[in-house]
Amino acid sequence: MSSNRRNNRGRGPDPLLELGRRRATRTPGPENAPAPDPSASYAIIADIAILLASPSDLTGILNKIVDGIIKVTGCERGFLMLREPDGGFSTFTGRYADMAKWEESDTPEISHTVRDRVADTHEPFAVSDLRLLDDFKTSDSIQAGGLVAAVCLPLVYRDELIGVIYADSTHMLPRPLDDNHQVLSAFATQASFAIENARNHGELEKGTGRDQKRDSPLAQKFTGDGMATRNKAMHEVIATVEKIAPSHITVLMHGETGTGKEVYARAIHRLSPRSGRPFIPVNCSGMPHELVESILFGHVRGAFSGAVADRPGLFEAADGGTLFLDEIGDMPLATQPKLLRVLETREVARVGDESVFRKVDVRIIAATHRDLSAAVESRAFRDDLFSRLNGAQIHLPPLRERREDIIPLAEYFLARSSAESGIPQPLLSAGARALLLANPWAGNVRGLKGAIEFGVHFRDERNVIQAGAIERFLGAAGAAPPPRDSSTLKAQMERYEESLLRQALAEHGGNVSRTAEALGLSRQQLHAKINKYGILPPREA
């Protein structure tokens, strides 16, 4: 079983799943499916990109995506299924080329073999004739249901499986599915983004409910995963966010995957005068290259095959608000000069009508995990665009460079995950804490969040997360185990003891009496250990 599949377990009751259970009813589908028209898919993808700016219309967006897959592949029906906390699936929406077939049953029979394979591998599955595959010749869905073709796409967001899109047919498909690989991937990316964007929107509305007393004074003004910090570099990040948020300056963020670039981009937007206007995130690496300009700048009718109507782009959709260009380093080189022109003139020209320019008032926040300076040197990124984006710089350090934040962040995720699951908050055993502190966290804050959610699900009967649960997650996620150096057990335990002492002193503001009480030590014992490890003299009680 993949680690990503495990990571999703332990999630509490999901409002989206409840919404899906209510909405997975007889929804109107496309008319009888004609022969697939791949060219039309580009217009559909561009339309959906605009709809993504409106998270309130989640059902409309997902219906349009499933309709698009039915149209492009020639399948007879399609379903979008969300992952349940227990690892199962709940049908969010069902769409048919012939809606009369939907009336026959409210519970669709699908190929569970296909769906479960995609859930386990996170790889797309597309076969025009299942009868040719030995694995499926004896399948009930083929023998009894008469299935011939099937398409199943994993919906993955930030390395986590959140659902699948499944489509099938009782006849051979009129076009090889290999021809539509890129288009299908684009549909899956859009669906994943739409679902998570809706979840994030709901979380921002209701707040996270974090205990802010443990945060720094600056951090108390923010909410969101990874904001709690005691790290000096992160305090500087938050101070920068606070300083630049009220302005209109363009921002360029740099940080490894999982460090929270979008979280801080949203914080800048929320603290800015634009907070009442749209915040539209777009992943530059997830857009098909031939559609980047249409998605960003819009297009007019007839601009390309399948463009049957004028459509605004994301710049127009974000007018008055903020456009977050994630992974800007993956922007196609051919599009970069056009993006530069928009940034300089604050005007966009839709694809197919470069003679008409529309004024836009959009703040740009860009982010990347790449070294853009090196990309400029290798001519993979334009120097003038880099200079234009580089108005205010924010560097988010990896979690391994802010180890003092690991346990406080773990406690925050622990409180949130247990609240979502409706259980008393579990305790972290000393061994589990040691593993968390020792791990290099290649996945950064996002990886730590996954470990805690996994631990909540696999807590023991005493409601304690033991080291074994953390080890299982780290092993499944391919994380490096804690260092097995040549030092003695005593030396390793002393390093852990020093870490706990520093953490406890920080939690209690350097107060010796309260720290000693929390650790179960006398004041004299604590002073002895402080002297042993050369910790700076704390404030006396």
Structural domains in the chain, CATH included, are 3-201 (3.30.450.40), 232-396 (3.40.50.300), 401-533 (1.10.8.60)
Angle 2-450-119 from CA coordinates, rounded to 5°? 30
The rounded distance, in Å, linking the Cα atoms of 435 and 416 is 21
Q: How many CB atoms lie within 10 A of CB 251?
A: 25
The rounded distance, in Å, linking the Cα atoms of 516 and 524 is 9
Measured CA to CA in angstroms, residue 378 lies from 236, 286, 332, 403 at distances of 31, 22, 14, 34
Strand-pair partners of 149: 169
Q: Which two tokens stand for residue 434?
A: 């040691």
Q: How many CB atoms lie within 10 A of CB 33?
A: 21
pLDDT of residue 488: 52
Per-residue pLDDT of the chain (541 residues; tens, 9 = 90+): 333 333 333 444 444 444 444 444 334 444 444 445 545 556 666 666 656 655 456 777 788 888 888 888 888 899 999 887 767 888 888 888 865 555 544 456 788 889 988 998 888 888 888 888 877 766 766 666 678 889 999 998 767 788 999 999 988 877 666 666 777 877 787 788 777 766 655 432 333 333 333 343 344 444 444 566 778 898 899 889 999 999 999 999 999 988 989 999 999 999 999 998 999 999 888 777 778 888 899 888 888 877 778 888 899 999 999 999 999 999 999 999 999 999 999 999 998 888 889 999 999 999 999 999 999 999 999 999 999 999 999 999 999 999 888 888 888 888 888 888 888 888 998 888 888 988 889 889 988 998 998 899 888 888 899 988 888 888 765 544 444 444 455 565 666 677 677 767 766 667 777 777 777 777 777 877 877 777 654 444 3
pLDDT of residue 178: 62
- Give the helix/strand (H/E) hosting 255: strand 251-255
Query: Tokens 């489509």 — which residue?
Result: 167
The rounded distance, in Å, linking the Cα atoms of 22 and 380 is 48
213: helix, strand or coil:
helix
Cut 0.85: pTM above it = no
**Cβ contacts of residue 378 below 8 Å, gap of 6+?**
none
Which among 280, 221, 159, 224 is positioned nearest to 396, based on CA atoms? 224
The rounded distance, in Å, linking the Cα atoms of 159 and 161 is 7
Q: Which two tokens stand for residue 344?
A: 């300089």
Helices of type H across 217-362 = 232-244, 261-270, 292-297, 314-317, 336-345
427: helix, strand or coil:
strand
